[in-house]
Amino acid sequence: MSTGGPQARVPFTSEDYAARMRRAVADATRAGLDGLLVMPGPELVWLTGYRPTAITERLTVLVLTPDREPTLLVPTLERPDAEAAVGAPGLDIVDWADGEDPFARAAALVRAGATMGISDSAWAMHLIGVQDAVPGSSYRSLTQSLPMLRAVKDAAELARLEAAGAAADATYEQILGVRFAGRKETDVAADLARMLREFGHEQVDFTVVGSGPNGADPHHEAGHRTIEVGDAIVLDFGGLLDGYGSDTSRTVCVGEPSAEIRQVHEVVRLAQQAGVEAVRPGVACQEIDRAARAVITDAGYGERFIHRTGHGIGTTTHEPPYMIEGEEQPLVPGMCFSVEPGIYLPGRFGVRIEDIVTVTESGGQRFNNTSRDLHVVE
């Protein structure tokens, strides 16, 4: 159990980064790509440890190809930060100065006619600039070409995800003690954000407080509705701790729950349990969705479970693999994802229960371990 304050940092070694870059090149080659262009965003952080403080119109790009050392092209004024941040040996850092053409510099690293994978987070102006500078080149979405590149986590990454989960759990334990009735959803959301930071998160990505009818909208964040006695409230919150994500949901009730809230909550609890119990190596992602959905469908609420069962998590809080019908990717030890079934009754209330789960040799192991019983708050 976390006691708050900054968590102990689990260091990545320079070999961790070097291995990731080698794997990225090998995966790209297998996918029929001539290399990768990685712009600022989750892949660049994962591959090099470098997270530029400001992502701007100045071109920053990591070029990974099988025929040369990885090369990070940065604006001259960012070079000191990049040198301080990158954790990988054998990474060649080169810079371009204002007044130079950065796309000509990037083009010198990419062969004419090449098919390159490019980060989904790349700015269109940067893609177009490189494309115009490299004759006959073409580009593919990095996430679509290599969806499993970051999906299997190593031991140091698992430790960070576990720490992020423990901090989210500590936040949930603490939010149970605040007053809900008579306050606005945004007030409780602000409490959640403050607690996530107190328990070590450096970034808060979402703080959903869906009270009463608002809970029936899975994308509702938090609004100015005043919370009333009798409301079911969907709480769904997370962010980044040491660069790795947390994401957990619990549904609480203000005062005594109605029989219907109790019943719906129990169906979702059993569905979530069934989803977690279906996790083991070799099982297709869609089987996790099917296991959770079957419980909800059998209880008569199939039409009211209106989203996929889960998503991967790592340096972002939403990434492959997705637990969805049609996804046949088999689970592999080290994958981490959410299991988060829900039931949404329009105009009335919603229930969602969510844990982050990692695949181990023997089954699924949760990174969120707070009680999944329906908790009564004040």
Q: How far is Cα 34 from Cα 73, in angstroms, rounded to an integer? A: 18
Return the number of the residue (242 or 354) whose C-beta is nearest Zn ion: 354
Which string of DSSP letters, residue by residue, matches 152-167? B--HHHHHHHHHHHHH
Burial class for 6, CB neighbours closer than 10 Å (0-12, 13-18, 19+):
exposed
HSE, side-chain direction, 13 A CA sphere, residue 33: 25
Q: Least distance from C-beta 237 to Zn ion, angstroms?
A: 7
Q: Least distance from C-beta 205 to Zn ion, angstroms?
A: 9
Q: Least distance from C-beta 108 to Zn ion, angstroms?
A: 42
Return the number of the residue (122 or 359) whose C-beta is nearest Zn ion: 359
Report whether 154 contacts 334 (CB < 8 A): yes
Q: Least distance from C-beta 235 to Zn ion, angstroms?
A: 9
Q: Least distance from C-beta 149 to Zn ion, angstroms?
A: 20
Task: Give the interface with Zn ion as residue ranges (CB under 5 A).
Answer: 236, 247, 249, 338, 354
Return the number of the residue (64 or 288) whose C-beta is nearest Zn ion: 288
Q: Least distance from C-beta 236 to Zn ion, angstroms?
A: 4
Return the number of the residue (103 or 172) whose C-beta is nearest Zn ion: 172
Return the number of the residue (7 or 316) whose C-beta is nearest Zn ion: 316
Return the number of the residue (34 or 354) whose C-beta is nearest Zn ion: 354
Q: How far is Cα 374 from Cα 234, in angstroms, rounded to an integer? A: 11
Tell me the helices (H) and strands (E) count for the chain, helix number first.
10, 18
Q: Least distance from C-beta 272 to Zn ion, angstroms?
A: 12
139 contact partners, CB below 8 Å, separation of at least 6: 37, 115, 116, 117, 118, 127, 131
Return the number of the residue (78 or 340) whose C-beta is nearest Zn ion: 340
353 contact partners, CB below 8 Å, separation of at least 6: 249, 250, 251, 268, 269, 272, 340, 341, 342, 372
